[in-house]
Amino acid sequence: MNSTPAMDTPRPPSLAGRILQLALGPEGPAAPPAAPQPGHAGRPLVSQGRIRRRRTWAGDEAEVTVQPGDEVGPGHVIARLQRTGRTTALDAAAALGVPAGQVGASLLRQVGDMLAEGDLLAERRSLGGFQRRTMHSTASGRITYISPDHGTIFVEPAAVERQVLAHLSGRVVEATPSGVVIEGNALAVHGVAGAGRAAVGLLMLADAPHNLPPEASGAIVACAFPLDEPAVGALTEAGAAAVIAPGADKATLQRLGWDDFLWSPRARSDRWGPRATPPLTIVFLGVGPSEAPPRLWEVLRPLAGRPASALGAEPGAPSELLIGLDDGSSGAPPPAPLLAPGAAVRLIAGRAEGQMGKVVAVRRGVFRLASEIGTEVVEVAFPDGAQLHVPAVHVQLLP
């Protein structure tokens, strides 16, 4: 250790000699913990009443088929989108070994022709016909353009029509080229994640894996149990349109590779066409493999057999199950979710994730968790007698 301290060491043009003198001062106001409205929970599991849903699509050319005032059902096609996949560019000049301007002379097909993959596109003979070079199409579609400048042949695949379903039955209140807003009376079951577009069918309930409905083709199946591979397989084979489940076995998620499209925010963007999706629309009510709250089952049971719509993931849309409540009345908007003593709740995160209990008290002010994070909390009592202070944002109101 150097025992002679250097006195006023000459300051080199390096970092060490420059002690920073910042006018950084005492603390200003720290960002406060978020203040949800006192007494309000993160989100409810179920909402019921007059709701609105905006159906939108990203960047596709759309033909909107409804106008304000129209009455629609959940399966009503409100827009048709023409989605053309990416055109393939075939470098004919390089393939044939000719300058771009000579490609035309070798072509056997022309603009507007339909091609199948492998079709002969062009042929060039040289050396008195003894040398032959051919070019086959690597794509199926229609020749849309042949570049005179570069000898590139562009093959456009057939357009795929995608239909946008209403999802909510009710009345169209707004219709523009970029979206449609529908208002109607419905019961909404809110998911935390999902995959797949809106799917419409009759609501069927399955309270146990061995009780899957035998005639599930085209149905929206609400399962009271977490999904595992056999259940997914059975529902897919039965042709179910969608499944609502409290969650899935972690190993199942891992093995099926569903993490990418269930939990990736970018999975909701379908700019270049839909990303890989599971074979049926999925809505999960939680993350872990918990059971469905019994109270949810009490709400859904009388609605079995009704038309329903399940939406897993679409741009700007929540994952949810909607069941139309067409009782002829205009209905009122769902009441704001309110946490109050006695309310039945489920925890959607934290150490008691998946457990259900009752609100004992809503604490005013900020409470310090064991992590020392300060936040608004709710005191929840559980069936086993335990009581916990949990962050309000971890609490979901049950019906």
Partner 1 sequence: MGGPETETTEEQHGAAPAAPPGAARPDVAGDTYAPLVAADVGSVYTKVFWVEEVQGERRLMAVGRAPTLGPDGTPAPGEALGAALAQALQRAGRAADTKPSRRLLMTSTAAVPRLTIVAPTAGELRTLSSVMERLPVRLLDPIRLDGPGRDLEHVLTQLESQAPDAVLIAGGNRGHERDLAHRAVEAITRGFGGQAPLLLLVGDDAFVTRVAPLLKHARYAVAGADAAAVLGLAERYVEERLASSWSAHTHLGPWQTEARATGSLQGICAATELIAERYDVDVLTLDLGAAHALAVACISQGGRRRVATVTREDLGLRLGRQAILREAGAAAVGAWLPVDVDPAVLRHDARLGVAVPAGLPESVDDLLLEHAFAREALRLVLDELTVRLGDGNGGALPPVDLVIGSGGVLAGVPRLTQATLILLDVVQPDALTQLALDRATALPLLGQLGLAEGADALGAALERDGLLNLGLCIAPVGTGKEGEPAIRVEVGYASRPALTVEVAVGAIEVVPLPTGERAALKLWPARDFDIGLGRGAAATPRAEVEGGAVGIIIDARGRPLARQDSPEKRQAKLLQWLQSTGAYPHFSFVQSSPPGVADEPGSAA
Residues 214-253 that bind partner 1 (CB under 8 A): 250, 253
Cα distance between the two ends of the chain: 71
Choose between 67 and 387: whose C-beta lies nearer to partner 1.
Answer: 387
Q: Does residue 176 touch partner 1 according to CB under 8 A?
A: no
| Cα–Cα distance measured from residue 322 to residue 181, given in angstroms and rounded to the nearest whole number | 15
Our CB check for partner 1 shows the closer of 68 and 316 to be 316
The count of C-alpha atoms lying within 13 angstroms of the C-alpha of 273, restricted to the half-sphere facing its C-beta, is 9
67 interacts with partner 1 by CB under 8 A: no
Binder to partner 1 among 66, 180, 192, 242 (CB under 8 A)? 192
Q: Is the CA virtual torsion 93, 99, 101, 104 positive or negative?
A: negative
d(CA 41, CA 340): 9
Q: Which stretch binds partner 1 (CB under 8 A): 58-66, 102-110, 233-241, 294-302?
A: 58-66
Whichever of 212 and 325 has its CB closer to partner 1, that residue is 325
- The CB-of-371 to partner 1 minimum distance in angstroms stands at 4
- Is residue 38 a contact partner of residue 376, using CB atoms and an 8 Å limit? yes
Stretch that binds partner 1, among 107-115, 292-300, 313-321, 324-332 (CB under 8 A): 313-321
Question: Minimum distance from CB of 175 to partner 1 (Å)?
Answer: 15
- Which range in 109-117, 123-131, 144-152, 301-309 contacts partner 1 by CB under 8 A? 144-152
Q: Is residue 116 within the footprint of partner 1 (CB under 8 A)?
A: no
Identity of the residue numbered 384: D
Measured distance CA(122)–CA(133) in Å, rounded: 8
Q: Kindly tell me which residue out of 49, 71, 81, 89 binds partner 1, with binding defined by CB under 8 A.
A: 89
| Choice from 110, 329, 330, 371 touching partner 1 (CB under 8 A) | 371
> Phi and psi at residue 123, in whole multiples of 5°?
-145, 140
Residues binding partner 1: what is the number (CB under 8 A)? 113
Identity of the residue, 52 or 301, whose beta carbon is nearer to partner 1 in the bound complex: 52
- Residue 71 contacts by C-beta under 8 Å, 6 or more apart in sequence? 170, 171, 172
Q: Which two tokens stand for residue 147?
A: 């570049």
Of the two residues 201 and 354, which places its CB atom closer to partner 1 in the complex? 354
The residue (of 169 and 355) whose beta carbon lies closer to partner 1 is 355
Residue 61 engages partner 1 in binding (rule: CB under 8 A) = yes
> Counting contacts by CB under 8 A, is residue 127 touching partner 1?
no
The token pair at 156 is 């456009």
The answer to the question of residue 348 lying near partner 1 (CB under 8 A) is yes
**Choices 126-134, 184-192, 210-218, 223-231 (CB under 8 A): range interacting with partner 1:** 184-192
CB atoms within 10 A of CB 72: 21
Choose which of 126, 145, 237, 276 interacts with partner 1 (CB under 8 A).
145
Bridge partners, 152 (sequence order): 91
Nearby residues of 4 by Cβ (< 8 Å), 6 or more positions away: none
- Rg over CA atoms, the chain: 30
112 touches partner 1 by CB under 8 A? no
Q: How far is the CB of 132 from partner 1 (least distance, A)?
A: 24
Tokens linked to 74: 């959940």
Q: What CA–CA distance (Å, rounded) separates 366 from 267?
A: 36
Selected from 143, 235, 240, 287, the binder of partner 1 by CB under 8 A is 287
- Report in angstroms how near the CB of residue 127 gets to partner 1 at its nearest: 27
Buried b (16+ CB within 10 A) or exposed e, 238-261: bebbbbbbbbbbeebbeebebeeb
Decide if residue 184 touches partner 1 (CB under 8 A): no
